[in-house]
Amino acid sequence: MKKCLIVGGGFAGLAAAVYLSKQNFLVELIEASPKLGGKAYSFFDSKRNSILDNGQHILMGCYKETLNFLNIINSENNLTFQKSLKVSYIDRKGISHQLKAAKYFYPINLLIAILKYSAVSIKERISIIKFCAKLIFINPTKMRDESVSEWLKSEGQNENVIKSFWEIIAVGALNCSSDDASSKIFAKILKQMFFTGNFSSTIIIPSTDLSKMYCENALKYITDFGGNILTSESANEIVIKSNKVVSVKTNKREIDDFDFILFAVPSHAIPKIKGLPESIIDIANKIKYSSILTFHIWVKDFKMKNPFIGLINSQVHWVFDHGEYITIVISHADSIINYDETTLFNIVKSELKKYINLTDANIIDYKKIKEKRATFVPSTEILLKRPSSNTEIANLFLAGDWINTGLPSTIEGAVVSAKIATDSIIQTIKS
Ligand SMILES: Cc1cc2nc3c(=O)[nH]c(=O)nc-3n(C[C@H](O)[C@H](O)[C@H](O)COP(=O)(O)OP(=O)(O)OC[C@H]3O[C@@H](n4cnc5c(N)ncnc54)[C@H](O)[C@@H]3O)c2cc1C
């Protein structure tokens, strides 16, 4: 039985550990922090005696590899599925708009959803449909190197359509400004969302906290197969001999009884690990990040009509209903993330008053969570630098959402990276 040491217990590390366990590998996973989950984690909030997530996470029907992983670990019951795409939006005047597809007659149902999207004029809706029709025949890899906003403008999408339709999708999926994101990656995900079947365009929301949603079941699956998961243990140094990693020094011990080692850590953790090849450190140093700001706000005498809503043309992007509290998501928050807490909360409150009429009288308490390095920026420059899973060292592999999967920095990107890495490890044995 071959043994793989996995470093990092986020989506990528856990998915790789599950895939390798399934393939009869002995797995040992070490995670630096005391909890599993990486950038998608839960924690116990003692003040409110409840478990909270570090930020709202949503999946989509097009997250095929993630859904496969969640199915393997028996976690699909922890998700709430839509039958067809339904997203409610609200504009600055407090007027609601819906992007709502009927259950049947894909793809006509999506076409009708756009035709009924009242946040833009009829003429603008037709321009969206024309653009989508053209997109069907576009090969993203053959597109020009340009930003999302340059591309949308050159395809006749006016400012209102960009702000009231495309920007919401782009910022949500890529977590960065449309001026920075590459049009190629945006085109790729649009095609995956809208042109690969009705289910692909649907939104999937965890029905439990993230730790229950996937960490606990992944842990059980891996340990049932004889694997071992150790938290609060960080890989600090590796020793390479004859082009192979022969040992890893952690904060607790030295590990040398493995055949393969998979680093499923974020790019910013790479330069801190001594002994890794300069070529990997060089690439890791070039990856830039974008932040997400979350506010969980406990409310009273306030009911949302929808499980979640998108705010058009606002600094607050999404509001999710969790019953006793609502979760506010500010994507791509770099320009405000360093403001002091009062200023930030005042921005949030002012937007919520305008859009959903939430006043001070409705607010009981709140908790702010800053994730400064939430996702990497998928600019043209950075996309060209993403490393592959295989490295110049024979038994050393990389995974994580920043690896070259062709996808943005998402759960699906992380799980696909795990699939690529585990396939590469298995291939190494066969060849
Ligand atoms: C607030 C927020 C909201 C998000 N919303 C969404 C969403 O709605 N949909 C979506 O698809 N994606 C979303 N994302 C992105 C998604 O969470 C990430 O893309 C994904 O979780 C990345 O997983 P990963 O395993 O690649 O990396 P990580 O989650 O960063 O995991 C890497 C792990 O490695 C550990 N580690 C680092 N160094 C060492 C070391 N030396 N030794 C041992 N362990 C180490 C870290 O502690 C970490 O646990 C969101 C992210 C954030 C922060």
Domain extent at residue 240: 3-42+208-287+378-430
Question: Could you tell me the distance, in angstroms and rounded to a whole number, from the CA of residue 96 to the centre of ligand 1?
Answer: 33
* Domain-terminating residue out of 182, 201, 220: 201
Q: Full-prediction pTM beyond 0.95? A: yes
Mean pLDDT of 250-260: 98
Same domain, 120 and 159: yes
Whole-number pLDDT of residue 112 = 95
**Sheet with strand 325-331: strands edge to edge:** 96-100, 86-90, 308-311, 318-321, 325-331, 289-299, 363-376
Q: What percent of the chain has pLDDT over 70?
A: 100
Q: Are 312 and 164 in contact (CB under 8 A)?
A: yes
Residue 159: what pLDDT? 95
Task: Write the CATH number for 354.
Answer: 3.90.660.10
Is 142 part of any domain? yes
The CATH number of whichever domain residue 404 belongs to comes to 3.50.50.60
Residues 277 and 409 both lie in one domain: yes
Same domain? 98 vs 192 = yes
Residues 313 and 413 grouped into a single domain: no
pLDDT for 138-184, tens place per residue?
999 999 999 999 999 999 999 999 999 999 999 999 999 999 999 99
Mean pLDDT of the chain: 96
Co-location of 161 and 279 in the same domain: no
> From the CA of 268, how far away is ligand 1's center (Å)?
11
Residues linked to residue 331 through DSSP beta bridges, in sequence order: 292
Q: Write down the pLDDT at residue 103.
A: 83
Residue 382 within a domain: yes
Answer yes or no: is pLDDT of 207 > 90.
Answer: yes
Same domain assignment for residues 352 and 382: no
Ligand 1 nearest-atom number relative to CA 39: 29
Q: How far is the CA of 410 from the centre of ligand 1 (A)?
A: 9
* Residue located nearest, by CA, to atom 40 of ligand 1: 234
Residue pair 230/30 in contact by the 8 Å Cβ criterion: yes
Whether residue 194 is found in the same domain as residue 224? no
Q: What is the pLDDT of residue 382?
A: 93
pLDDT in tens, 76-95: 999 999 999 999 999 999 99
Residue 52 placed within a domain: no
Question: For ligand 1, atom 33, which residue shows the shortest CA distance?
Answer: 8
Q: Is 237 part of a structural domain of the chain?
A: yes
Specify whether 318 is located in the same domain as 226.
no
Q: Which of 410, 412, 417 to mutate to test the pocket of ligand 1 (most atoms within 8 A of CB)?
A: 410
pLDDT bracket for residue 60 (50, 70, 90): very high
> Do 302 and 331 lie in a common domain?
yes
371-429 residue pLDDT tens? 999 999 999 999 999 999 999 999 999 999 999 999 999 999 999 999 999 999 999 99
182 CA distance to ligand 1 centroid (A)? 21
Residue 413 main-chain phi, psi, to 5 deg: -60, -45
pLDDT at 115: 96
Structure token pair of residue 31? 């995670």
Residue 147 CB contacts under 8 Å (≥ 6 apart), including other chains:
178, 179, 180, 181, 182, 183, 379, 380
Instruction: Choose one of 376, 391, 408: the last residue of a domain.
Output: 376
**Is residue 23 a part of any domain in this protein?**
yes
Q: Which atom of ligand 1 is nearest to the CA of 55?
A: 1
61, part of any domain: no
Q: Is it the case that residue 104 has pLDDT exceeding 90?
A: no
Distance 65 CA to ligand 1 centre (A): 16
Task: Kindly state whether residues 254 and 177 are assigned to the same domain.
Answer: no
Residue 278 confidence (pLDDT): 96
The atom of ligand 1 lying closest to the CA of 371 is 53
Confirm if 83 and 203 have CB atoms less than 8 A apart. Answer: no
Domain boundary among 201, 233, 260: 201
Output the residue whose Cα is nearest ligand 1's atom 51: 374
Distance 291 CA to ligand 1 centre (A): 12
Residues with CB under 6 A from ligand 1: 7-13, 30-33, 38-40, 54-55, 57-58, 234-235, 264-266, 269, 273, 292, 294, 371, 374-375, 400-401, 409-414
Burial 284-310 (b: 16+ CB within 10 A, else e): beebebbbbbbbbbbbeebebebebbb
Q: If pLDDT is split at 50, 70 and 90, which confidence band does 324 have?
A: very high
Could you tell me if 194 and 89 lie in one domain?
yes
In angstroms, what is the span from residue 237 Cα to ligand 1's centroid?
21
Q: How many domains does the chain have?
A: 3
Q: What gap in Å lies between CA 383 and CA 125, rounded to an integer?
A: 31
390 & 266 share domain: yes
**Model pLDDT, residue 72:** 98
pLDDT at 431: 84
Nearest residue (by CA) to ligand 1, atom 26, is 400
Q: Is residue 337 part of a domain?
A: yes
φ and ψ at residue 73, rounded to 5 degrees: -90, 10
Q: Per the domain annotation, does 72 fall within a domain?
A: no
- The rounded Å distance from CA 42 to ligand 1 centre is 12
